[in-house]
Structure 1
């Protein structure tokens, strides 16, 4: 149930007042016996509107950090260290061994935040795939850090019905199991025979362990795969992935009914397109330092590919449609183009129309973006996420993200024109093919700025790209 006004959680209030000192503990044991969760049931109790958005944004910070770490090929201790830091800040989830008094609230927040992001990211296949990928990595990180006792308790609660091989069944396929267990025997510093004899094996349908199959680390016969208990994580992850994937599709079908609640819909739309970095909209553009005559040079030298494309289309056609004017105009505003210079810039480039037509059809919207008309709200420039997930360009449009909206042929031609080597073009287009559009843009920045020796975080905003490029010149 949603509550409009911010309220106090009934479990926390009861504990604080000490009227029912074991109430929270009982609720913890019944609802969240471990910190692992397949999120099969909706969150319990009442949830305030404030909690919905705050919890969702905190979890989104975690998922973004996971994406960045994974795309930067961080592994093992480096990956765990980065994720643990962001989890501790935004979504702490301590184990039962900690005896923390906040266990229930932490697990409640984890539960609620997952469901809100599930609602926010179920609209499109691409959003579902992104959410599924990050949630799987988060669950895997938590599962690997959980105690053996809590792992067993959690898996027992799922009733997965994995068949355990008996000694006679294991003896019958001993030779085949040994052949597939060489790498594990080496890892455990023992012989293959000793490893197989001492190991517990599960029999499952082979499609449950695609990752082990791809690495040829499992014995398969007659549609069954035989998995050592040390590789249990593969089974658990596939169960988690399949169940969450089905839940996302079911949520997408139910979403239209849920959005009839006017309180929920704006929160979901806001979370889905949320950008966590610098807004580039907090400065006073009226004192901007960029002149209209300098825009072309600055954009071609420092701006990302999306803004270069808009700039070149504007100079070629002497016009941009609404989507392009919004995306490009707000970008220019944030790099320091004042309202007076903006009016000069757009009037100069829109050279095929009369002054009267420009004043009637375009000047108002330019002033509106600077907060001088209408609601007098000074609008912030678009983030990469907003550009990628916004309305795609149609015929005659030039807005959008080249890495998402260009065809592969057009993108390759543009990269080649900009002097990118074939090796780097292949690398960038492979990222695009895997839908890592922002990472592709980041790689493009690295390739075109070889003097940048520091680690480049994944670019999330066109003005971030511009700012980093300008700073290189100043350094």
Structure 2
């Protein structure tokens, strides 16, 4: 079993032990990130069943909660733990680590894009002389005694910093960069898992819901501590809206213009704001400011804040799991939004529901833009999510994993467009 976490362990565990493993790992990562003294923890022994279970259960919690703070924290903590582990491996340990990874890779039917260079790197590191050279205390980051050949698209961060030599599309990655590259591939593995895993069936499992409740309590402590994760303020929504996905940007502009949204679209937009950091108090301030204003033009919604304050307060608190059945609602993904029957013009996926003129307007594109023709080609094939991801890549000058379209969501778009990781 490898601490690269390519696949989860199978078996049964009592629920109380599962909770203890997961919360213990969360606290361990928090100490690690904050630089506190690290005590021995039986659940974090590398390569153990508990270690594997704890990692995957924290990922489950992040996916189901769709909490930006929790997702970034888990990513940062797991990457830091991986760095420490890789840095302490002896030559023998490195060879064992590489052999285990190669055995796991063989089990894949369809391998993610980052597996190809990982496999090449492990094939080198399992060699005795290479592992001894790589793990030697005197090994320098500038060393270039050994190289691996990988396609340039698998090491774009190194190419951007001119740290590798490229010949006919093939990058030569020197051994001095291999540890850094292992960390990059590990980060891609976790990001792919957090962004592309559909766990919808688990939402109805009371055991998982109880575990999520425990994790949310730990997360609230994390958010209240000094952290680099900032809570989104209601007064800052306008400024961050430039990073919104087109569907949510459209709802934001419509709301600012009309001061009203239909019930379904208000529900979608509220959950999106919640999942990118707008807490319940800021949400109350945000919607109060809008619904105290008179509707601009005709609209199906005839409510206002002064008359229906109790109703709106209950609705907002209900979405945050503070009223009613105390279910912590999460925002919808792209497929769910695209499958919704759009009975009003204010919402929906622009790549599916808008005509070309309105889509161009919300995307900020001209008719002669090459990107527009590429998007229209994807639209003609009903590949609406792929069109959105293409727009994200061009807008932010990034390269997304080719499996990202599975379970992609507006929150994923916002995280990618604002991420500095």
TM (norm. structure 2) is: 0.43
The one of the two structures with greater contact order (alpha-carbon pairs below 8 A, sep at least 6) is: 2
In terms of Rg, which structure is larger?
A: 1
